[in-house]
């Protein structure tokens, strides 16, 4: 193949010069933004002297000022002249041959350092085929990380512990202890341990750099890895950042990972069986890694958009199942368990640098690298991003949230860096109340009481709920419409169950029952409605809630006098809830009247006018509810105890009770 490329180099260059990319993106998708917690980049290195000397043209071309890279192959058809086959790949950030490692550091890796310093997990993976520039990139980034950590620019004191290990197949070695073999184990608390690896506490930049260089030298001369090939193993540099003033706080972690190279096609012919087995293991571990990176990113996006909780538990009934993150399937991902395990509740930021060799001779491997990079991208639905508003916690990033905590936590002050080391406003709102309160204790000096922590939690939530009620309309026209609506309609904005009529407050709620009204009722006497269990059933003072859908009389079944369904109402399961010959079924079991169903209004049976209602069910966050529109029941107006106001919260995508 190499000779074919060399023989047709001139034709190839002409075809590439004449290449016109398709005007529209070849892979259209829904409106999305890059995921800020997960940046996938590619770095295309320059052609090396020996590649140019051999006469190979470049096969990888960055498309203008875009994040799109074109890869052109030359193919020999059965008849006729060789043809160009072109492929394009899109990443979040693209670096060409002129880009420096310093630039990549500033853009991508530097933000991970304060993040990990404050207790987050930051991970950088470099990936690519042999001789694509991974080692050059990672060693440069490690040097720059050491400088940022040690130059005193970060606030506070930390203990900095360094370990560097190598994974070759299933076996792990300590590169800071003369390549001593170590074990990757999960302890009884589910924490991955690099058993036998030495962690070096480093106090200055020189020592840090010496350790990095020692590990790199050991890799280069590895006896178990044949030929020159550091690229047959994964190297993991882990920096653990402990906060001595807050021993209860979780350590920050920074991982810099130089992944084994995917196999260059032209190497394969020379491989013996051991090398082929190695290649299979590398490819398999990279495949598991891809699934884990994607799975974790999907879990985070879904948690941020309210599809399910960050820990993957307690998902709403309508939610999709949490993505599966198979971190136990390879030694590499097992070692990085807490990077991938969403149930740990740790916030992660990840950066991938796909290193690409531009030489036409390696164009097949370059395509694999770029395809892999593309597959790692998990964009965030665009609708979810919101511009910063000072009074709206759902729009705050970590810095804005911290500023609010600092200004509002009273005396003694709660340390924002410990209450919200990495979280954004929506993420802190999603933190279980118990965790929030526990963090308040570790975050302040001794006088914080549970009540104070609780009150601070309530303060944030109150602001959040108020801000949702007073949400800013998107445009001036909307603003005018909303202002008019507010004047006329009692603050009604379409996001809460408040009655649009400003005079409603003076009228007893039973006299103004309407679709969308939420009411409290007593589930004590009722166990089941149309086959669905009701939370709180069985008494004990627990209230049930339901949203009115319509008067029962709105459902009279088909009008045809011959229809067997005439005059009946059926629930979603097809069960008759009123009328017909079947009498009262489960859904009508509300109340104690036992009257055979008819769908008239008030019947003098002690129940009052009857309404078809949807159950309001507790959801995963404290105080949150979902409306189960298909879990229907019939309530008489006299069985409704009071009106309850509920409002929709965009950030968590649940309903909350309000006053
Ligand atoms: N951005 C760059 N600018 C100049 N030279 C580069 C660049 N990237 C890589 N190189 C050169 O390319 C060669 C291969 O780089 P490097 O050893 O970093 O690749 P690698 O992917 O780590 O290879 P392997 O997997 O075989 O260890 C080296 O000679 C390096 O100096």
Q: Could you give phi then psi for residue 494, rounded to 5 degrees?
A: 85, 0
Lowest mean pLDDT among 9-23, 37-51, 165-179, 296-310: 296-310
% residues pLDDT > 90 (the chain):
24
Mean pLDDT, rounded, for 90-99:
94
The mean pLDDT of the chain is 77
Mutation choice for ligand 1 from 136, 227, 357, 369, CB with most ligand atoms inside 8 A: 136
Is residue 253 within 8 Å of residue 240, measured between CB atoms? yes
Question: Is the confidence metric ipTM above 0.90 for this complex?
Answer: yes
For residue 154, give the H/E element and its range: none
pLDDT bin (cut points 50, 70, 90) of residue 622 is low
How big is the CA angle at 598 (ends 592 and 600), to the nearest 5 degrees? 100
More confident position, 507 or 255:
255
Buried b / exposed e over 419-428, threshold 16 CB at 10 Å, is bbbbbbbbbb
Which residues lie closer than 8 Å to 458 by C-beta, 6 or more apart?
Answer: none
Q: In angstroms, rounded to a whole number, what is the distance separating the alpha carbons of residues 218 and 126?
A: 19
pLDDT of residue 535: 44
Mean pLDDT, rounded, for 401-427:
84
pLDDT of residue 595: 35
More confident position, 357 or 443:
357
Concatenating the DSSP letter of every residue in 212-231 gives HHHHHHHHHT-SSS-TT-GG
Does position 266 have pLDDT exceeding 50, yes or no?
Answer: no
Does position 164 have pLDDT exceeding 90, yes or no?
Answer: yes
Mutation choice for ligand 1 from 101, 102, 104, 131, CB with most ligand atoms inside 8 A: 131
Alpha helix ranges (H) inside 61-188: 101-104, 112-117, 134-150
pLDDT in tens, 524-558: 655 445 444 454 444 444 568 899 998 887 766 67
**Any atom of ligand 1 within 6 Å of the Cβ of 132:** yes
Residue 478 Cα to ligand 1 middle (Å): 56
Residue 133 Cα to ligand 1 middle (Å): 3
Q: Which of 97-101, 323-327, 459-463 has the highest mean pLDDT?
A: 97-101
Is residue 380 within 8 Å of residue 32, measured between CB atoms? yes
Cis bond upstream, residue 412 (ω within 30): yes
User: 123: helix, coil or strand?
Assistant: strand
pLDDT of residue 495: 76
More confident position, 77 or 333:
333
Is residue 400 within 8 Å of residue 426, measured between CB atoms? no
pLDDT bin (cut points 50, 70, 90) of residue 587 is very low
Concatenating the DSSP letter of every residue in 607-626 gives S-SEEEEEEEEE-SSTTEEE
User: 578: helix, coil or strand?
Assistant: strand
Does position 484 have pLDDT exceeding 60, yes or no?
Answer: no
Mean pLDDT, rounded, for 363-385:
78
Give residue 546's Cα distance to chain centre. 32
Mean pLDDT, rounded, for 143-154:
93
Lowest mean pLDDT among 64-78, 133-147, 381-395: 381-395
More confident position, 146 or 274:
146
Does position 159 have pLDDT exceeding 90, yes or no?
Answer: yes
Residue 136 Cα to ligand 1 middle (Å): 5
Mean pLDDT, rounded, for 101-125:
92
For residue 286, give the H/E element and its range: helix 273-304
CB atoms within 10 A of CB 261: 27
Does position 143 have pLDDT exceeding 80, yes or no?
Answer: yes
**Any atom of ligand 1 within 6 Å of the Cβ of 234:** no
**Any atom of ligand 1 within 6 Å of the Cβ of 424:** no
* Residue 100 alpha carbon, nearest atom of ligand 1: 1
Q: In angstroms, rounded to a whole number, what is the distance separating the alpha carbons of residues 576 and 582?
A: 7
pLDDT bin (cut points 50, 70, 90) of residue 475 is very low
Q: In angstroms, rounded to a whole number, what is the distance separating the alpha carbons of residues 116 and 422?
A: 9
More confident position, 254 or 587:
254
Which residues lie closer than 8 Å to 153 by C-beta, 6 or more apart?
Answer: none
Q: Could you tell me which residues are annotated as the binding site for ATP? A: 128-135
Nearest to 283, CA basis, from 495, 61, 127: 127
pLDDT of residue 659: 52
Q: In angstroms, rounded to a whole number, what is the distance separating the alpha carbons of residues 425 and 405?
A: 11
pLDDT bin (cut points 50, 70, 90) of residue 447 is low
Does position 469 have pLDDT exceeding 50, yes or no?
Answer: yes
% residues pLDDT > 70 (the chain):
70
Q: In angstroms, rounded to a whole number, what is the distance separating the alpha carbons of residues 131 and 165?
A: 21
* Residue 261 alpha carbon, nearest atom of ligand 1: 25
pLDDT of residue 439: 77
Concatenating the DSSP letter of every residue in 369-420 gives HHHHHHHH--PEEGGG-----TT-GGG--HHHHHHHHHHHS-SSPB-HHHHS
The answer to pTM > 0.90 is no
Does position 207 have pLDDT exceeding 90, yes or no?
Answer: yes
Q: Which of 26-30, 199-203, 649-653 has the highest mean pLDDT?
A: 199-203
Q: In angstroms, rounded to a whole number, what is the distance separating the alpha carbons of residues 129 and 530?
A: 60
Classify residue 309 as left (phi > 0), alpha (psi -120 to 50) or beta.
beta
Residue 344 Cα to ligand 1 middle (Å): 36
pLDDT of residue 95: 96
Mean pLDDT, rounded, for 171-183:
92
Per-domain boundaries in the chain: 1-24+40-94, 393-469, 508-658
pLDDT in tens, 272-309: 677 777 777 888 888 888 888 888 887 777 665 544 43
Mean pLDDT, rounded, for 225-239:
72
pLDDT of residue 142: 95
């Amino acid at each position: 193949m190499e000779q074919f490329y060399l023989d047709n180099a001139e034709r190839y260059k002409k075809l590439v010069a004449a290449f016109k990319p398709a005007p529209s993106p070849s892979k259209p998708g829904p409106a999305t933004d890059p995921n800020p917690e997960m940046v996938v980049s590619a770095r295309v290195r320059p052609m090396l002297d020996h590649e140019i000397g051999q006469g190979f043209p470049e096969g990888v071309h960055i498309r203008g000022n875009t994040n799109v890279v074109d890869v052109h192959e030359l193919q020999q058809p059965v008849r006729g002249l060789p043809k160009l086959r072109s492929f394009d790949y899109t990443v979040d950030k693209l670096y060409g041959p002129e880009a420096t490692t310093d630039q990549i550091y500033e853009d991508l890796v530097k933000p991970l350092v304060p993040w990990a310093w404050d207790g987050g997990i930051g991970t950088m993976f470099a990936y690519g085929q042999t001789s694509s520039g991974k080692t050059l990139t990672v060693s440069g980034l490690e040097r720059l990380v050491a400088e940022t950590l040690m130059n005193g620019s970060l606030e506070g004191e930390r203990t900095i512990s360094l370990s560097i290990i190598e994974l070759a197949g299933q076996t792990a070695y300590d590169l800071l202890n003369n390549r001593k073999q170590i074990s990757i184990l999960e302890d009884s608390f589910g924490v991955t341990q690099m058993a036998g690896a030495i962690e070096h506490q480093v106090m200055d930049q020189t020592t840090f750099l010496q350790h990095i260089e020692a590990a790199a030298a050991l890799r280069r001369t590895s006896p178990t890895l044949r030929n020159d090939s550091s690229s047959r193993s994964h190297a993991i540099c882990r920096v653990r950042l402990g906060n001595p003033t807050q021993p209860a706080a979780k350590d920050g972690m920074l991982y810099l990972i130089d992944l084994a190279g995917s196999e260059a096609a032209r190497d394969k012919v020379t491989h013996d069986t051991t090398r082929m087995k190695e290649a299979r293991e590398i490819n398999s571990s990279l495949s598991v890694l891809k699934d884990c990176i994607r799975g974790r990113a999907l879990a985070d996006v879904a948690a941020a958009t309210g599809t399910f909780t960050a820990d993957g538990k307690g998902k709403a009934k309508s939610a999709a199942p949490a993505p599966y993150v198979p971190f136990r399937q390879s030694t590499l991902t097992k070692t990085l368990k807490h990077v991938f395990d969403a149930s740990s509740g740790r916030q992660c930021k990840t950066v991938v640098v796909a290193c690409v060799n531009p030489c036409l001779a390696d164009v097949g491997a370059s395509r694999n690298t770029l395809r892999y990079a593309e597959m790692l991208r998990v964009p965030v639905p665009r609708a979810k991003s919101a511009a910063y508003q000072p009074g709206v916690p759902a729009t705050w990033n970590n810095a804005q949230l911290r500023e609010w905590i600092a200004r509002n936590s009273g005396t003694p002050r709660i340390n924002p860096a410990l209450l919200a080391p990495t979280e954004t406003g929506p993420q802190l709102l999603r933190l279980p109340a118990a965790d929030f309160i526990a963090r308040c204790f570790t975050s302040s000096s001794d006088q914080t009481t549970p009540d104070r922590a609780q009150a601070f939690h309530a303060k944030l939530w109150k602001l959040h709920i108020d801000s949702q009620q007073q949400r800013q309309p998107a445009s001036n026209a909307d603003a005018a419409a909303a202002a008019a609506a507010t004047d006329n309609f009692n603050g009604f904005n379409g996001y809460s169950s408040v009655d649009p009529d400003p005079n409603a407050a003076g009228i007893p709620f039973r006299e103004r029952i309407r679709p969308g009204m939420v009411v409290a009722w007593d589930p004590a006497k009722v166990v089941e409605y149309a086959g669905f269990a009701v939370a709180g059933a069985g008494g004990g003072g627990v209230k049930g809630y339901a949203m009115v859908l319509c008067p029962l009389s709105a459902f009279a079944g088909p009008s045809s006098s011959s229809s067997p369904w005439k005059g009946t109402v059926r629930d979603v399961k097809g069960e008759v809830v009123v009328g017909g010959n079947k009498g009262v079924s489960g859904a009508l079991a509300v109340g104690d009247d036992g009257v055979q169903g008819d769908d008239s209004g008030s019947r003098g049976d002690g129940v009052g006018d009857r309404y078809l209602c949807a159950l309001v069910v507790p959801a995963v966050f404290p105080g949150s509810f979902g409306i189960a529109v298909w879990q229907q029941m019939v309530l008489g107006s006299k069985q409704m105890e009071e009106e309850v106001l509920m409002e929709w919260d965009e950030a968590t995508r649940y309903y909350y009770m309000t006053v």
